[in-house]
């Protein structure tokens, strides 16, 4: 039976990606590691099928990354992690923007069939699981930031529900029982998961859900301000707000300041994602931080392992989030 690259990696005690780097003569591998891998190759009499590999990869050494928008800065951090990881592994990342359009995503993914790219990463895709699974039968693809129920492909995300639960629980620990939520109408899995985290935190703390404390609109920054005005117009306004994105949180904070209120003192506001604006804004914005750079690195490393292996790993990797408290919650 022909020796596989996974067996070489196991013999050498390294990852498949490291073996791939050695085979591609990447400079991102130490001499000591290269020696160990080469010894394992010799011991197992491993002979890489470069012809078959190149036919499969088209010798492009390029991975397509599709993002829905450039308006969210955390996508930039993910792409940066992807590019740094890809460079070390001898790959390039080709970035394309779908504007959240499913037809555009499908058209871009035709690059796989045309052998223009070796693999693709979908960031916050709107494709359904059946379409994703159909494409993945013959091509290497992965999801990042957004899961898709029923999609049997490599997926790298955080636990959005748990992150939202932690944020709302912190507001409750601060004594708040009237907590408004600003969400989105796009019904992405991450949005729904974050909403569920909010609901669960209220339920676990015996706080009744009030429908009037829910505001749903688009992710547009201005809707954070509209939500704030709506909440403040209620007979009993919330004393704290959880926004499922930082842009919505910043919109609410800006409107609070316009109304003469001080976030972190008169009302607590917390967002989600930890975009670069959170630290720079005054007051600084409390949030649930996603490890964007590390997510980008991880999805590329695992995807390259899939490219280099005859069998694909379709695991879901859940990265750790971090509850980051700043001035907008009085911290």
Q: 191-233, pLDDT tens digit by residue?
A: 999 999 999 999 999 999 999 999 999 888 899 999 999 999 9
- Give the pTM: 0.80
What length does the chain have? 331
CB distance 67 to 101 below 8 Å:
no
In this structure, what DSSP letter does residue 309 have?
S
Closest of 145, 182, 170, 180 to residue 160, by C-alpha: 145
Domains and CATH numbers, the chain: 5-48 (1.10.260.40), 54-158+293-319 (3.40.50.2300), 160-290+324-329 (3.40.50.2300)
In this predicted structure, what is the pLDDT of residue 152?
93
> Where are the alpha helices (H) located in 13-128, listed in sequence order?
16-23, 31-44, 50-57, 73-88, 102-113
CA–CA gap between residue 279 and residue 326 (Å, rounded): 8
Give the bridge partners for 93, in sequence order.
63
User: Mind listing the pLDDT tens digit for each residue in 93-102?
Assistant: 999 999 888 8
């Amino acid at each position: 039976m022909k020796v596989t690259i996974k067996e070489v990696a196991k013999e050498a005690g390294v990852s498949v990606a490291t073996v791939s780097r050695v085979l591609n003569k990447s400079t991102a591998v130490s001499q000591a590691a290269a020696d160990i891998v080469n010894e394992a190759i010799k011991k197992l009499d491993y002979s890489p099928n470069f012809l078959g590999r190149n036919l499969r990869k088209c010798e492009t050494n390029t991975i397509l990354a599709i993002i829905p928008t450039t308006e969210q800065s955390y996508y930039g951090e993910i792409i940066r992690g992807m590019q740094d990881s890809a460079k070390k592994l001898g790959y390039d990342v080709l970035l394309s923007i779908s504007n959240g359009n499913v037809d555009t995503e499908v058209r871009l993914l035709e690059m796989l069939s045309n052998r223009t790219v070796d693999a693709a990463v979908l960031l916050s895709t709107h494709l359904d699981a059946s379409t994703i699974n159909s494409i993945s039968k013959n091509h290497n693809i992965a999801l990042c930031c957004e899961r898709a129920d029923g999609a049997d492909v490599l997926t790298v995300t955080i636990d959005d529900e748990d992150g939202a639960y932690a944020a709302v629980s912190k507001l409750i620990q601060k004594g708040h029982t009237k907590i408004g939520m600003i969400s989105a109408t796009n019904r992405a899995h991450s949005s729904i998961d974050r909403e569920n985290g909010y609901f669960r935190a209220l339920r676990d703390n015996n706080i009744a859900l009030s429908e009037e404390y829910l505001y749903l609109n688009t992710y547009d920054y201005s809707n954070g301000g509209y939500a704030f005005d709506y909440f403040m117009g209620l007979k009993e306004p919330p004393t704290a707000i959880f926004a499922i994105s930082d842009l919505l949180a910043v919109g609410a904070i800006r409107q609070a300041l316009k109304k003469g209120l001080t976030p972190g003192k008169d009302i607590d506001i917390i967002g989600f994602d930890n975009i670069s604006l959170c630290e720079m804004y005054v007051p600084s914005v409390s949030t649930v931080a996603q490890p964007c750079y590390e997510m980008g690195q991880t999805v590329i490393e695992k995807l390259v392992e899939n490219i280099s292996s005859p069998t694909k790993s379709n695991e879901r990797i859940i990265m750790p989030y971090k509850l980051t408290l700043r001035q907008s919650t009085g911290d």
